[in-house]
Structure 1
Amino acid sequence: MSKKRKKKEHHEEHVDESWLVPYADVLTLLLALFIVLYGMSSVDAQKFSAIADAFNRELQGGTGFFEYPSPAPSMDGKESDLNVVDEEKNDEKQDVAEEDLKELQKQQDQKELAEIQKKVNVYIDENDLGNKLDTELTGEGLHVSIRDNVLFASGSADVRSKDRKIVSEIANLLVMDPPRSIIISGHTDNVPISNSRYDSNWELSVTRALNFMKLLLENKNLDPKSFSAKGYGEFQPIASNKTADGRAKNRRVDILIQPRVATED
């Protein structure tokens, strides 16, 4: 009798664990669900990354399409920033190339003017005119300065007959192919003129320049379209008017042979 009771009491103390089976099944299903979701998210991320790389390659190394914050910048009707930058770089390169070309042209131009100066200096030396003609090469061009006593009598604008040969020889030196622009300018000292033909040194200087230019253009190899004449009177001296030697230097006719390439101040 006592043994049966003991067995019965032992049976009543046993815990029912049947609920563990469905609980384990639920956990298994949840784990499987999370694994599937994780796998799906990984695949989407890879696809998204592949698409982004494809767009970036199409943009040729520029800022990636998916690197812009939302919303992406609008491109309707406007050039992309990349194209604008490329155009600016191309413009800069073109400007540099044009500047280099212009500088080379200036250098070549100065060489040509130096050759002309050499020819004129040879003529001056061969004819012993060193104290009457002078040359100077500057950024403005080649200056050939002729003292007035080589060409004109005092107070006169007419080139003396004995000096016409010099004018003819100078004209031959000015024949160039292609022609250059040449400015003839007359200058005087500051002593007031005292004759009935000219009211001022200014008028005298203009007339001298014009008459000298007309004689030069008797050479049919010179193009009149390339020449112009000016008169400055006493207002552009190259020496002091306080001495006789200075005044003699200021009384002159200048020939300016201009560069083909314009120079900047």
Structure 2
Amino acid sequence: MSKKTRHEEHEEHADESWLLPYSDLMTLLVALFLVLYAMSATDAKKFEEMAQAFNSALNGGTGVLDHSSMAPTNSDLDQGKSTKLNTIAEKNSTEADLDKLRKKEQEELEKLKKQFDQYIKNNGLTDLLSTKLNQSQLLITISDNALFASGQANVKPESRQLARSISQMLQQFPDYEVVVQGYTDNIPISNSEYSSNWDLSANRALQFMKILLVNPYLKPEKFSVIGYGEYHPIADNSTATGRAKNRRVEVSILRKYQENKSTALSAK
């Protein structure tokens, strides 16, 4: 019998066609990471050199590496620094201007307080009037005995000169906001004219303000009145002395510029 020729099976070669796109993909990934790294740097010249080198390596193709404008240039960096410096300069300038205005305002209010204090001393009114300068206002406190009869809101004829003197001192600085505030003690009032302490305190403030505004050099739009009734006491209402302190009119000359904490003055 003839021997059958045994043909050995040929080994099949593995398909390696996938290596080409794989190598291209890896090359592109490396290029991408290098681009991202270059974009994070601030040296525009090095970025451009790297872009040219990779474009040459990738057969001169065009792509994201050709767009060198994506990297920050020296001009962009200079412009950013300039903008930041301008912003800081403007802020410093504004603060400096405000400091000057605060200083001027402080000088004006201190001058006004000295004039009020001198008037109080010269006229023997230390028991009836007082002044206080703090971070928000110059406050003039007037006892109701200096202005009104008990339970009444009309300013006594002999007290009208006090209101006129205050208005003359206020006219030196007519641009300040002025608030006239009325207060009472906690003893209920109920007569033919006033049904509550609210009414009495508000009308007392109003009547006093009207005398101030007889002065034509004051601006009515800068003035306002508030009646607090019995609800903002400064002393104990359980004693006659405390109730007398609570019955008052206050004239507040308000600051226009809030002081810095470092320069704020304590109440005088």
**Displacement of 1:199 after TM fit?**
1.8
Unaligned runs of 5+ in 2: 1-40, 52-64, 262-268
Unaligned runs of 5+ in 1: 1-61
* Residues matched between the structures, number: 202
Say whether the 8 Å CA contact 2:153–2:204 is kept in structure 1: yes
Task: Extract structure 1 runs of 4+ deviating beyond 3 A.
Answer: 69-73, 262-265
Which residue of structure 2 lines up, in the alignment, with residue 110 of structure 1? 106
Which residue of structure 2 lines up, in the alignment, with residue 132 of structure 1? 128
Taking only the aligned residue pairs, the percentage that are identical comes to 38
Q: Which moved more, 1:124-133 or 1:93-102?
A: 93-102
Give, in whole Å, the separation in 2 of the partners of 1:199 and 1:173: 35
Which residue of structure 1 lines up, in the alignment, with residue 150 of structure 2? 154
What do the CA deviations read for 1:192-223 (whole angstroms, capped 9, x no partner)? 11323112111111111111000111122222
Alignment match of 2:242 (pick from 242, 246, 249): 246
Say whether the 8 Å CA contact 2:174–2:218 is kept in structure 1: no
Alignment match of 1:64 (pick from 35, 40, 43): 43
TM-score between the two structures when normalised by the length of structure 2? 0.69
- Cα gap change, 1:117 to 1:177, in 2 (>3 Å): closer
Q: Of the two, which has the highest radius of gyration?
A: 1
Which residue of structure 1 lines up, in the alignment, with residue 190 of structure 2? 194
Alignment match of 1:234 (pick from 230, 237, 251): 230
Asked whether 1:94 is paired with 2:90, we answer yes
Give, in whole Å, the separation in 1 of the partners of 2:158 and 2:69: 84
**Displacement of 1:73 after TM fit?**
4.7
- Cα gap change, 1:67 to 1:239, in 2 (>3 Å): farther
Which residue of structure 1 lines up, in the alignment, with residue 4 of structure 2? none
Give, in whole Å, the separation in 2 of the partners of 1:115 and 1:180: 14
| 2:70 counterpart SS class | coil
Give, in whole Å, the separation in 1 of the partners of 2:107 and 2:143: 26
TM-score between the two structures when normalised by the length of structure 1? 0.70
Report the RMSD for the aligned CA atoms in angstroms. Answer: 2.3
Corresponding letter in the other structure for 1:134: S
Corresponding letter in the other structure for 2:186: N
**Displacement of 1:178 after TM fit?**
4.6
Give, in whole Å, the separation in 1 of the partners of 2:99 and 2:188: 45
Which residue of structure 2 lines up, in the alignment, with residue 258 of structure 1? 254
Give, in whole Å, the separation in 1 of the partners of 2:101 and 2:209: 29
Give, in whole Å, the separation in 2 of the partners of 1:177 and 1:143: 15
Give, in whole Å, the separation in 2 of the partners of 1:74 and 1:204: 74
